[in-house]
């Protein structure tokens, strides 16, 4: 079992829930080593004393706060704890909010909370309360040297603590050049919106995280094997010349792209195979699937009736060119 990153208690009114904090995620980044391209030897990074230039061992390193230029106050782990003992040992719940009111941009890092010794009953009580109320608990907690804003939420049978960004850490978007909010000002028609909604409807499915994985990492590892097999382990691939990008002034035929996407999309569960035939009727008004057996039968009857009433005008048109060219 992994080692707890933090031990303390959740403060819930007058109730204290002893808990342990565990990382909820693991990274699968490619472990690339920095090399000197002259002889491909690994590059080392060392901790050294900037005054003497000598290397410093971990046991000789302490933390310090620079209170004025080149002057430091040394702060040990015990100093950081004593600054506010309660804050470093308590997840203090401040309020409860609706989960939908908390924008995703505020979520930062998830952690699992597990009950510590004697905390099973009160842990289960808070978990069930969060589940039934459909609320998120907003709390503050000190992890290492930073006080975090955090959200406590129920995920299955686990209480998850997700650290949040403070409001002043979110950069405003007002300086970005964004399309106008009004559809007409942005050049979007209602027909295009309905077409896009049809595309979304056809691609809608139940959330299944197991079907997604880091395919790029697999591609890079495949490239590594390929270069090893070809004995190109020391070959540095240079970038290809950049192809000219399309001019920003080019007009995009959005309807054509949407129709093409509808034709190529894979039908989801319960959708027909012909759902990509560009029906732009509003989704809320649709009651019958466009590719139902009844519709196909009706269409076939109409086409047969039209063929009987309409004379075949195409046959003479096909035969006339040859005699005309012969007379010429």
Which residue in the block uniquely carries the two structure tokens 């048109």? 317
> What integer pLDDT is reported at residue 5 of this predicted model?
87
* Res 249: pLDDT: 45
Question: Which of 169, 193, 219 is a domain's end point?
Answer: 169
Q: Is the same domain home to 21 and 165? A: yes
Query: 189 and 125, same structural domain?
Result: no
DSSP class of 170: S
141 and 198 inside one domain: no
Same domain, 116 and 193: no
pLDDT value, residue 92 = 92
Phi first, then psi, for residue 8 (nearest 5°) are: 180, -140
Backbone angles phi, psi at 263, to 5 degrees: -70, -30
- List the domain range (segments joined by +) for residue 146: 6-26+80-169
Do 104 and 16 share a domain, yes or no?
yes
Indicate whether 163 and 137 sit together in one domain. Answer: yes
Q: Are 6 and 22 in contact (CB under 8 A)?
A: no
Cα–Cα distances in angstroms (integers) from residue 125 to residues 137, 203, 213, in the given order: 14, 39, 35
Asked, for residue 227, whether it belongs to a domain, the answer is no
Q: What is the mean pLDDT of each run of 10 residues along the chain (328 residues)?
A: 84 83 81 86 89 92 90 87 77 92 94 93 93 93 88 94 94 83 79 86 87 83 89 85 60 72 59 41 44 46 48 43 40
- Start-to-end CA span in the chain (Å): 93
* pLDDT at residue 128, rounded to an integer: 94
Whole-angstrom Cα distance, residue 260 to residue 29?
35
Do 14 and 122 lie in a common domain? yes
Q: Are residues 193 and 114 in the same domain?
A: no
pLDDT of 291: 44
């Amino acid at each position: 079992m992994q080692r707890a990153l933090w031990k303390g208690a959740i403060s819930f009114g007058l109730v204290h829930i002893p808990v342990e904090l565990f990382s909820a995620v693991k990274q699968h980044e490619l472990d690339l080593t920095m090399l000197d391209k002259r002889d491909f030897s690994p590059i080392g990074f060392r901790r050294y004393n900037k005054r003497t230039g000598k290397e410093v061992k971990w046991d000789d390193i302490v933390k310090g706060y620079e209170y004025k230029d080149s002057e430091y106050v040394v702060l040990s782990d015990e100093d950081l704890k004593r600054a506010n003992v309660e804050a470093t040992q308590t997840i203090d719940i401040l309020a409860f909010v609706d989960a939908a009111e908390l924008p995703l941009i505020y979520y930062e890092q998830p952690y699992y909370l597990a009950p510590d010794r004697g905390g099973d009953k009160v842990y289960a009580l808070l978990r069930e309360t969060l589940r039934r109320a459909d609320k998120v608990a907003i709390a503050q907690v000190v992890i290492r040297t930073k006080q975090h804003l955090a959200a406590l939420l129920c995920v299955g049978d686990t209480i998850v603590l997700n650290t949040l960004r403070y409001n002043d850490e979110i950069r405003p978007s007002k300086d970005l050049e964004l399309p106008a909010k009004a559809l007409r000002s942005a050049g979007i028609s209602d027909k295009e919106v309905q077409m896009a909604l049809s595309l979304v409807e056809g691609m809608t499915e139940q959330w299944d995280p197991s079907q997604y994985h880091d395919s790029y990492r697999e591609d890079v590892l495949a490239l590594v094997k390929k270069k090893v097999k070809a004995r190109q382990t020391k070959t540095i691939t240079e970038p290809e010349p950049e192809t000219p990008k399309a001019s920003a002034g080019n007009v995009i035929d959005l309807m054509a792209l949407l129709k093409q996407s509808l034709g190529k999309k894979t039908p989801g569960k319960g959708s027909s195979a012909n759902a990509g035939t560009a029906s732009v009727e509003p989704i809320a008004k649709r009651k019958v699937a466009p590719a139902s057996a009844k519709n196909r039968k009706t269409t076939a009857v109409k086409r047969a009736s039209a063929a009987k009433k309409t004379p075949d005008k195409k046959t003479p048109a096909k035969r006339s060119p040859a005699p005309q060219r012969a007379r010429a």
